[in-house]
Amino acid sequence: MSATRYAYLGPEGTFTEVALRTLPEAATRELVPVVSVPAALDAVRSGAAAAALVPIENSVEGGITATLDELTTGEPLMIYREVLLSITFALLVRPGTKLSDIKSVTAHPAAQPQVRKWMAAHLPDAVWESAASNADGARLVQEGRYDAAFAGEFAAATYGLEPLVTEIHDAANAQTRFVLVGRPARPAAPTGADKTSVVIWLGEDHPGALLELLQEFTVRGVNLMLIQSRPTGAGIGNYCFAVDAEGHIADRRVGEALMGLKRICPKVRFLGSYPRAGVAPEDVPPLRAGTSDAEFTDAADWLTRNLDGRG
């Protein structure tokens, strides 16, 4: 395995590359662009890269299904870090292109919901075509295959383009969440401001089946930050659920919730416990009464004393 190589959704000039370079360890790694999210994660599985940074969620459109599906299936991988990046687009064109010249535009599919209103107002007749990434869209404009691309303004110089319009976004303060993914290993120690990601599969479908899964978190005071259904591929109506929960697997409330899920679900895939981006331990709200590690330990001691007849 190449311990010094990190893969990312390329080519050069993507938001993913920008996000990756915010990690301190990126300065000492070989950063390798690849053509797709599956290719980035497969590089980790094969040992060609020690880790990969990929987008997993944005604040406008929600989960990035390609990433969720890749983490749900195939050889298990684990999330070790997350990065939040504010997103704003520029319309990149070949030098000399005017807005009235633009008949075709391209970008990653996740970009479209973030610029749809702007495009309807300013380029109502332009045809949209999806690209493998926003930077790849810029490359395709450079090659003359499209008239313009929505990408980061920073990508313009890389591809010999000009930012015709900047600061494009339908939703102010839009962000994309990226995750650093590696092969499974022992999670880092809890920081006090952590997140745990799992994928859970429903067993026999019946009224209240999803509620039963959620109650494993609720009764232990574990707050859920994301829950998203994904088809399993086993037929219409068969779903698994990607869940992000506050806390660390080493926290008693989280660990016992996962054990509860393991008892009642046909399959549970642990995707990692890792620090929450942009959240310090002192910013985390106090735990609900009865859900701290000390209170779980006290309850277990009480049970042991009663089993021993000591009351």
pLDDT of residue 39: 96
Instruction: List the beta strands (DSSP E) in 139-220.
Output: 148-151, 162-168, 175-182, 194-201
pLDDT tens, position by position, 147-199: 999 999 999 999 999 999 999 999 888 999 999 999 999 999 999 999 999 99
- Rounded to the nearest integer, the mean pLDDT of the chain is 94
Report if pTM > 0.85: yes
Average pLDDT over residues 243-265: 96
At 225 the pLDDT is: 95
In the chain, the percentage of residues whose pLDDT exceeds 70 is 99
User: Is the confidence at residue 71, as pLDDT, over 80?
Assistant: yes
pLDDT for position 1: 52
Pick 206 or 5 by higher pLDDT. Answer: 5
Q: Between helices 252-264 and 209-218, what is the axis angle to 10°?
A: 160
Q: Phi-psi bin for 221: left (phi > 0), alpha (psi -120 to 50), beta?
A: left
Q: Which domains does the chain have, with CATH numbers?
A: 1-86+175-184 (3.40.190.10), 89-168 (3.40.190.10), 186-297 (3.30.70.260)
Reported as a single tens digit per residue, the pLDDT across 96-141 is 999 999 999 999 998 999 999 999 999 999 999 999 999 999 999 9
State yes or no: pLDDT of 269 exceeds 60.
yes
Closest CA to 138 of 3, 278, 17, 232: 17
